[in-house]
Amino acid sequence: MIILIVVVFGIAGFVVSNRLKSKFKKYSQTPLQANLSGKEIAELMLADNKIYDVTVNCVEGQLSDHYNPANKTVNLSPDVYYGRNAAATAVSAHECGHAVQHATAYSWLQMRSAMVPLQNASGKILNVVLIASLLGGFLINLPYEIIGFIVVGAYGIMTLFTLVTLPVEFDASRRALAWVDQRNIVTRSEYAMSKDALKWAAMTYVVAALASLATLAYYIFIFFGNRD
């Protein structure tokens, strides 16, 4: 069953990821009428929201764009940082949407940030359990139910993290699209392109959340579903 879950959601993730890359490539080929780069759009959106303590950086990688609340940086991949098209506009404004969330103390972002240490610890716990189950060790002497509570508890935290991420990502896209529209950064056709690109970006998080939920349900059934 776990292999089936991995295969099904692995294929779904692959399809969505390829679709996202295809959309980004397609929407990168049409120059933005406003002729603004992703960097310029980010700086303009931050200024419009009276955010002056966030730095816009260029980082290596493709679709490696992210906002880091720890050091208040909007980090854009080269294609986005220098790009002057609907795809770069969408991604740049989306990441700034996270900066706006941070500046306005958006509750879901605060919850997600607070969960990061728990999520990291849960991942390490699951790695220890996996290694111990393969090599033997202290887990052999623990009751089956205790192992179940450890695995389900740790994976439950990781699943909750993926679920909390969803409203954070959707809200950042909503803020981005509202701003580029109100600011007349994009034309009607460019707005449609930006919206479509962000939709497929959001789908990657939806697939991850569904995969995590399915895996959690599987572990719950394995450890606690066969009781009489």
Please report, as a single letter, which amino acid is at residue 192: A
Contact, 159 vs 218, CB < 8 A?
A: no
Please report, as a single letter, which amino acid is at residue 202: A
Length of the chain, in residues: 228
Contact, 112 vs 163, CB < 8 A?
A: no
If you write DSSP's letter for every residue of 91-138 in order, what string do you get?
A: HHHHHHHHHHHHHTT-HHHHHHHHHHHHHHHHHHHHHHHHHHHHH-SG
Catalytic residue list: 95
If you write DSSP's letter for every residue of 106-119 in order, what string do you get?
A: -HHHHHHHHHHHHH
Q: Are strands 66-68 and 73-76 parallel, antiparallel or unpaired?
A: antiparallel
Contact, 132 vs 138, CB < 8 A?
A: yes
24/194 Cα distance (integer angstroms):
9
